[in-house]
Amino acid sequence: MGRILAIDYGTKRTGLAVTDPMQIIASGLTTVETKELITYLKTYVATEGVEKFVVGEPKQMDNTASESEVYIQKFLEKMVKEFPNIPIVRVDERFTSKMAFQTMIDSGLKKKQRQNKALVDEISATLILQSYLASNF
């Protein structure tokens, strides 16, 4: 079994989360500058053996695509070219940023630490991955 890697894509930063090799536990991995994301993923995939990508799908409350979906589609086209043998699954990511922020509050992080948007992105990716794992096992 390989790892499952979740991506919370953003135009500036992208949060990443990953499972253990047995695909049981979702953990935050890092946040990467989006312009360097493909390079980072190539290196990670080469060393860690990724079986599947889970990419957040931003939706409006009425279930229509969010404005950022245009950028995500362009990214997905690059992903398919770079990693043709790794399937990509989409997961609804509504409310993950709010849930990530609440998680930071609940875990006792100070206000200054909660302003770290990179950490919010990483936690959001972890929530996307946890959602995927919960719905598939």
- Cut 0.85: pTM above it: no
What is the rounded average pLDDT of the residues 114-122?
Answer: 70
CA distance 99 to 93: 10
Q: What is the pLDDT of residue 131?
A: 86
Q: What is the pLDDT of residue 103?
A: 66
In sequence order, the 6+-apart residues with CB closer than 8 A to the CB of 69 are 57, 58
What is the rounded average pLDDT of the residues 73-84?
Answer: 96
34, 15 Cβ separation under 8 angstroms? no
- Tens digit of each residue's pLDDT (9 = 90 or more) over 5-30: 999 998 999 999 999 999 999 999 99
Lowest mean per-residue pLDDT among 15-19, 49-53, 116-120: 116-120
